[in-house]
Structure 1
């Protein structure tokens, strides 16, 4: 299998699992880049963002940790990884802050550029890969939500990642403020140069879809030569996707990025009650020869739905093998050729 450059887009625990899985495929994945959402307004990240006007660092720190969490052969490197993830307790001004968030805040302030700050922390932690924000500017998420008043059909607008993620209503659509945010140029270049791009899993409206709402990044996703894979969530999340089926996750993805085509959809085998329904929805956004892949990718703990990175790595290896087989078949004339639609 040819060595590949991979880009994973998302945020939080979902992106952490994807990055950890990609690192486990280091025999075929030679370069991993994380592109991270920058709209968090809660917790330590929200406090630093409000006080300093900087990018929220929490999801960036999580991605750094995933790419640095190695085999522990270097004690100094392992100590720095632990320190970056350490969170202060108590009730004082530092309570709740992660050391890595403060480190990133300080470096961004000193260097004046979040990408330069992230590259410095990558060097410090011995990160095998790169972590980039989807935009150099902190962004806000707004949503149209129904079911918040007496009329269940009436739409309300709510603002902020925490508010959208925890709404008791039903999210219909989301958008970003500013309306046409500037993409991080390095993130756009990474997507264009990639061989493999992964979108999801994660909080669907607040960690996954925002990447499709940054015009330059969306255009790069639509025109890249990379194989594109959507990794579906294991279960609906209370709040933003309560009651969502796997196919509804795909439908809102298509709604927010009309015309986006992908090469594969990966879902947990136990999370798809009716495969035919998921296949029908996926057909509208799969390239010729693309398909839905089912695999057991859930962690053992049923109380908190999380992807198991080892199982996810095995599933992604199978997806990559299917891509290679499809390319071989196409070269032999036994598969449908790519069409112009594939790259539009």
Structure 2
């Protein structure tokens, strides 16, 4: 089964960790608008793609995510000097980008070093900028302000209403999708969106024209995985169904097959079912949070929920057997248990 997961940051890492329990053929399509931390510094200083989310996706798909090279990629320098805060993997990817130029080739090369099972691709081969329309920043709650930058959008105290993506040419410059990412979506058997920062990691994929068209046209079964809790700043006060309403507003032509949400995170299941139906999807409620940590997905439980959601959909690719899936869980994540 060819699976494609779109997102960024920790949310995409969780999805990939779950998906590799279901199939070995996984492609990650990663956002490239980060402008904070180590990634933001490298982006500003060198004009390169922000490498942080790409690095996290590669580690999630590494042959041994806890092995020496994967651990080294995640290690950050301490101290107060020029290297403070930089992840070693970010510097490796930045160096390869300067040497090779082509981000797809760079990720393939780094993937060989880490023993990546699957593929990691950027959604665009040039860095992008996020712009958001936000209300609630003035005394008049209806006044709309525009703010730019992923960090600014993710931490705004206002209410994000809509986002736009700008290419390297600035406002008005449309982003151009990575051709290999577009092809992966078109050829997939299943495509997953979410979880993750809704406005800065999930929705941006829908605003790249080529990726949007591929998501609309693909015959793959499309699954949305909802967040466990609202994200302070970006989606504070959002209900589970509001996440779907916002997705529909940004991509009204998109149709989805299944929506997965944690049972305890959905106070009114009927509302979620209606919002999912508006996208053409069935809502699947399951216990997918880590026990005692309601803001963290359990990768093994999420893998099982994905499998069950796919089993309930017609005319799809043949899924692996329960035994194969269970064995993969034990092999790839012995610390996780099926719930």
* TM score, norm. by length of structure 1: 0.88
Superposed counterparts of 1:59-74, under 5 Å: 59-68=53-62, 70=64
Q: Deviations over 1:151-210 (max 9, x none)?
A: 111000000000000000000000011342100000000000100000000000000000
Q: Which residue of 2 aligns with 1:131?
A: 120
| 1:235 and 2:194 are equivalent in the alignment | no
Q: Which residue of 2 aligns with 1:10?
A: 7
> How far off is 1:323 after superposition?
2.1
Q: Which residue of 1 aligns with 2:278?
A: 284
> How far off is 1:35 after superposition?
0.2
Q: Which residue of 1 aligns with 2:100?
A: 111
2:290 alignment partner, SS class: coil
Distance 1:95 1:125 in 2: 24
From 313, 316, 321, the counterpart of 2:303 = 313
Distance 2:101 2:253 in 1: 37
Superposed counterparts of 1:146-295, under 5 Å: 146-178=135-167, 179-286=173-280, 290-295=281-286
Q: Which residue of 2 aligns with 1:94?
A: 83
Q: Which runs of 4+ in 1 moved over 6 A?
A: 325-328
TM-aligned CA distance change 1:96 to 1:69, over 3 Å: farther
TM-aligned CA distance change 1:71 to 1:170, over 3 Å: closer
Q: Which residue of 1 aligns with 2:336?
A: none
CA contact (8 A) 2:189 2:316 kept: no
Distance 2:317 2:176 in 1: 35
From 313, 322, 325, the counterpart of 2:312 = 322
* TM score, norm. by length of structure 2: 0.90
TM-aligned CA distance change 1:112 to 1:154, over 3 Å: same
TM-aligned CA distance change 1:94 to 1:327, over 3 Å: closer
Q: Deviations over 1:293-323 (max 9, x none)?
A: 0111112343x71211111011111112112
> How far off is 1:70 after superposition?
2.7
> How far off is 1:92 after superposition?
0.5
Q: Which residue of 1 aligns with 2:288?
A: 297
> How far off is 1:114 after superposition?
0.8
Q: Which structure 2 residue ranges, 5 or more long, are not aligned?
A: 168-172, 319-339
The count of corresponding residues between Structure 1 and Structure 2 is 313
> How far off is 1:259 after superposition?
1.3
CA contact (8 A) 2:189 2:317 kept: no
1:312 alignment partner, SS class: helix
Q: Deviations over 1:48-73 (max 9, x none)?
A: 0000000000000000010015376x
Q: Which structure 1 residue ranges, 5 or more long, are not aligned?
A: 73-77, 329-344
From 72, 97, 108, the counterpart of 1:83 = 72
311-320 vs 50-59, greater mean Cα deviation: 311-320
